[in-house]
Amino acid sequence: MSVDTRRRSSAGRAAQPVRSERVRAEARLGWWLAGPAFVVMLAVTLYPILQAGWDSLFHFRLTAPADKSFAGAANYVNILGDPLFWQSLGVTLLITVVTVAVELLLGFALALVMQRGLKSVRGLVRTAILIPYGIITVVSAFSWFYMFDISSGFVNSWFDWVPGIGPETNWFAGTWGSLFVVIASEIWKTTPFISLLLLAGLAQVPTELEEAAEVDGATWSERMARVVLPNMKAAIMVAVLFRALDAFRIFDNVFIMTNGAYGTEVLSLLAYRTSIGRLEIGLGSAISVLLFLCVLLICFISIKAFKIDLAGTRGGK
């Protein structure tokens, strides 16, 4: 909209035909430059998801391709009636809520350390915090798995003074132990991202406001609650939304640590095992579509609830 009005007003000032020719040439150049990226993005996502939507309407197993037949909504009925699907959804939501909540607190603390910590070690802290961000999730998963593993781990011998932990504690023999380690590794790996976003948010809080509050005698927690946090609302919401979407798609950690055993199956793993493990393309596609719809729903709810203008807060003009 704003583009149009701007264009019209500037066109009014210059000689009309020359100007509009230039405007058109500029638009053409814009699309020539940006078009390839746009087309590639659509081709690598939109086309496959449409294909998945189509495939989900068929009884289609790769082991018996000749038996492909139209199924209508049968695959969806099948999945939505399966307790395993609801259990996976529950586990996925649990992981999402817990990791996002913990990461928000931890990430904010780390952001404060990065912003206000001693100048001389700020670089060190930033570098250290960036390491988990760069580490491959699979490596992080293995490292946490080996720490807690009953044969190669040292956690049991380090923490045997904690009631309930002993040399024989097998973390990966039950739902809660496994989920605990999965969540811990996810938090470790992805907190840096959230704390960097929050650091950028902190940088946007006007220092004068905070200083004024301090002069007026506000305590540290009052300044945080009344001045700092309200001023970085946008950054917090973006961080929460992006982390929530990311956590909802969790896959690597669970695959490495339990491969879905003991009720730790998450939605992504269910989709993977149905389609690529059991070659049930029809059913797997239906799960893929449902997962996609869940992500859309999360986006929609957060945009409505938080009134986030994503394009705006993420740097749109």
Partner 1 sequence: MAISTAREKATWIIITVAVVIYALFPVASILATSFKAPSDLANGTFLPREFSTLNYEQILIGDAQGLFLTALRNSIGIAVIATCIAVVLATLAAYAIARLEFRGKKLILTTALAVSVFPVISIVTPLFNIWRSIGLYDTWLGLIIPYLSLTLPISIWTLAAFFRQIPWELEQAAQVDGATPWQAFSKAIVPLAAPGVFTTAIIAFFIAWNDFVYGIALTSTESARTVPAALAFFTGASQFESPTGAISAAAIIVTLPVVVLVLAFQRQIVSGLTQGAVKG
Dist CA 55 CA 7 (whole Å): 45
Name which position in 8, 14, 18, 26 contacts partner 1 (CB under 8 A). 26
Whichever of 30 and 72 has its CB closer to partner 1, that residue is 30
Is residue 51 part of the contact set for partner 1 (CB under 8 A)? yes
Nearest alpha-carbon partner for 276 in 255, 293, 297: 255
Give the integer Cα–Cα distance in Å for 206 and 155: 44
Nearer to partner 1, 28 or 69 (CB): 28
CA 148, CA 144: separation in Å to the nearest integer?
6
Determine, following the binding rule CB under 8 A, whether residue 124 of this chain makes contact with partner 1.
Answer: yes
Q: Which x/- pattern over 181-210 shows residues binding partner 1 (rule: CB under 8 A)?
A: ----x--x---xx--xx-xxx--x------
Q: How far is the CB of 300 from partner 1 (least distance, A)?
A: 11
Locate tokens 């019209």: which residue?
A: 8
Q: Does 137 bind partner 1 (CB under 8 A)?
A: yes
User: CA nearest 274: which of 257, 289, 288?
Assistant: 288
Task: Kindly state the smallest distance separating residue 77's Cβ from partner 1, in Å.
Answer: 19
65-94 positions binding partner 1, by CB under 8 A: none
Q: Is 17 in the site for partner 1 (CB under 8 A)?
A: no
Taking only Cα atoms into account, the Rg of the chain, rounded to an integer number of angstroms, comes to: 25
Residue 153 interacting with partner 1 (CB under 8 A): yes
The CA distance from 83 to 218, in Å, is 53
CA 106 to chain centre: 16
Using the contact rule CB under 8 A, the part of the chain among 69-77, 79-87, 96-104, 156-164 near partner 1 is 156-164
CA distance 57 to 54: 6
Of residues 74 and 113, the one with the C-beta less far from partner 1: 113
Under the binding rule (CB under 8 A), the answer on residue 123 touching partner 1 is yes
Is residue 19 a contact point for partner 1 (CB under 8 A)? no
Q: Is 276 in the site for partner 1 (CB under 8 A)?
A: yes
Scan residues 212-271 and list those touching partner 1 (CB under 8 A): 234-235, 238, 242, 245, 248-249, 251-252, 255-256, 267-268, 271
Look-up of token digits 């950690």: 253
Distance separating alpha carbons of residues 213 and 210, to the nearest angstrom = 5
Q: Looking at this protein, which amino acid is placed at residue 53?
A: G
